[in-house]
């Protein structure tokens, strides 16, 4: 029973999706998640490996995520049917004194899982084995770097979210005074699309990114700002100062729940020398505030999209990167047996 959304997602399913922070999945009990419209239960089996299986008891569909984990198995909260880490139903208490395993095999769908960079990843390919690694979250545990995750629920779909995370023109409106203020400056920009990524470089070494700059770049060194989108759902924004001695990186990987709802795991990583000690306390509330402003504007756009759809957008040169992201995602979603959109490079200007 594959969800409609997963069924309609074509090649977008053939990736690892973040389903939880590692620390959220303990041996104490299961957690329930929705990925691409499918209810999934995550739990830790003996040996601590994370198991992901359909969150549905084979008996009467009670949610296993409300059950218990014991002896390397998960038990349904309703009548106690018990499943092992392979999804096999190995015990039905009402079948006998010891609840002997029934003769015919009853089995729940399981999903390949792995843990990397502090996240639990689930492979969503339909009937396919993993053929690639999850996105490598940069500097999750690199020497000299600080890092932390934020998990945020958005009322909008993945395409619009990744566009928002890479969109510069909105910053002077949505994050006015917090991140950037309008300065009527021209921003020469290069956009480069490959068959799986869109890279944007801003030729604007004197860009200012708000009062955080005192912390991130106290000496006012030239700043290199690049935004990159990686198929199908991840953005990485780098601010590198001077000779790369200091850097600030925001990486967001989006997990679709439904067409208009998405969970985003954002890794903030920073290398600021001694200022790392201050950044540890200062950055989390600041980045939480900025993300909250995006949550609100994405909800506003989401309401418009639910009413009008997304087939009548108007694009300007500042939307070039968005158009390329949409082209890649639409190609993958179509599942068509055609070549991906051609690699290309475009240069343009916009104003902030």
Binding site for ligand FES (CB under 6 A): 57, 59-60, 62, 76, 78-81
Report the nearest approach of Fe ion to the CB of residue 297 (Å). Answer: 7
Positions in the binding site for Fe ion (CB under 5 A): 294
The listed partner (ligand FES, Fe ion, none) that binds 254, CB under 5 to 8 Å by sort, is none
In the complex with ligand FES, which residue's Cβ is closer, 83 or 202?
83
The listed partner (ligand FES, Fe ion, none) that binds 62, CB under 5 to 8 Å by sort, is ligand FES
In the complex with Fe ion, which residue's Cβ is closer, 14 or 227?
227
The listed partner (ligand FES, Fe ion, none) that binds 169, CB under 5 to 8 Å by sort, is none
Q: In sequence order, what E strands does the chain have?
A: 16-21, 31-35, 38-44, 50-54, 68-70, 73-75, 82-83, 89-91, 110-111, 113-116, 119-123, 146-154, 186-193, 197-202, 223-230, 234-241, 246-258, 261-271, 344-351
The listed partner (Fe ion, ligand FES, none) that binds 25, CB under 5 to 8 Å by sort, is none
Task: Give the count of beta carbons closer than 10 Å to the beta carbon of residue 167.
Answer: 18
The listed partner (ligand FES, Fe ion, none) that binds 81, CB under 5 to 8 Å by sort, is ligand FES
Report the nearest approach of ligand FES to the CB of residue 61 (Å). Answer: 6
Report the nearest approach of ligand FES to the CB of residue 30 (Å). Answer: 13
- Residue 240 CA to residue 270 CA, distance in Å, equals 10
Q: What secondary structure does DSSP assign to 26-61, as a single string?
A: -SS--EEEEETTEEEEEEE-GGG-EEEEESS-TTT-
In the complex with ligand FES, which residue's Cβ is closer, 31 or 237?
31
Q: What are phi and psi of 219, to 5 degrees?
A: -90, 0
In sign, the C-alpha dihedral spanning 255, 17, 167, 345 is negative
- Residue 189 CA to residue 211 CA, distance in Å, equals 24
Cβ-closest residue to Fe ion? Answer: 294
**H or E element in which residue 155 lies:** none
In the complex with Fe ion, which residue's Cβ is closer, 31 or 290?
290
Report the nearest approach of ligand FES to the CB of residue 73 (Å). Answer: 13
In the complex with ligand FES, which residue's Cβ is closer, 5 or 64?
64
Report the nearest approach of ligand FES to the CB of residue 50 (Å). Answer: 22
The listed partner (ligand FES, Fe ion, none) that binds 279, CB under 5 to 8 Å by sort, is none
């Amino acid at each position: 029973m594959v969800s409609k959304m997963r069924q309609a997602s074509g090649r977008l399913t053939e990736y690892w999706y973040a389903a939880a922070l590692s620390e959220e999945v303990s041996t104490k009990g299961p957690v329930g998640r929705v990925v691409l419209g499918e209810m999934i239960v995550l739990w830790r089996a003996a040996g601590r490996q994370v198991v992901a299986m359909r969150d549905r008891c084979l008996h009467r569909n009670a949610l296993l995520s409300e059950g218990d984990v014991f002896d390397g198995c998960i038990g349904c909260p309703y009548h106690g049917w018990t499943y092992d880490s392979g999804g096999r139903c190995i015990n039905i208490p009402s079948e006998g004194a010891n609840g002997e395993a029934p003769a015919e095999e009853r089995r729940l769908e399981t999903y390949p899982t792995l843990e990397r960079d502090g996240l639990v990843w689930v492979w969503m390919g339909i009937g396919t084995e993993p053929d690639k690694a999850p996105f490598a979250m940069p500097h999750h545990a690199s020497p000299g770097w600080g890092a932390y995750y934020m998990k945020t629920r958005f009322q909008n779909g993945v395409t619009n979210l990744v566009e928002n995370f890479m969109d510069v023109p909105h910053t002077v409106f949505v994050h006015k005074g917090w991140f950037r203020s309008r300065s009527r400056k021209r921003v020469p920009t290069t956009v480069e699309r490959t068959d799986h990524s869109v890279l944007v470089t801003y030729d604007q070494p004197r860009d200012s990114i708000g009062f955080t700059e005192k912390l991130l770049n106290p000496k006012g060194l030239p700043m290199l700002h690049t935004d990159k989108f990686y198929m199908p759902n991840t953005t990485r924004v780098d601010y590198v100062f001077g000779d790369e001695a200091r850097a600030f990186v925001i990486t967001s990987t989006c997990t679709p729940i439904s067409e208009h709802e998405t969970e985003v795991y954002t890794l903030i990583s920073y290398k600021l020398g001694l200022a790392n000690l201050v950044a540890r306390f200062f950055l989390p509330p600041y980045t939480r505030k900025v993300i909250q402003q995006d949550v609100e504007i994405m909800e506003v756009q989401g309401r418009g999209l639910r009413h009008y759809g997304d087939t009548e957008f108007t694009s300007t040169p500042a939307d070039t990167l968005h158009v390329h992201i949409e082209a890649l995602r639409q190609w993958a979603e179509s599942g068509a047996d055609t070549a991906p959109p051609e690699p290309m490079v475009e240069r343009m200007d916009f104003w902030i």
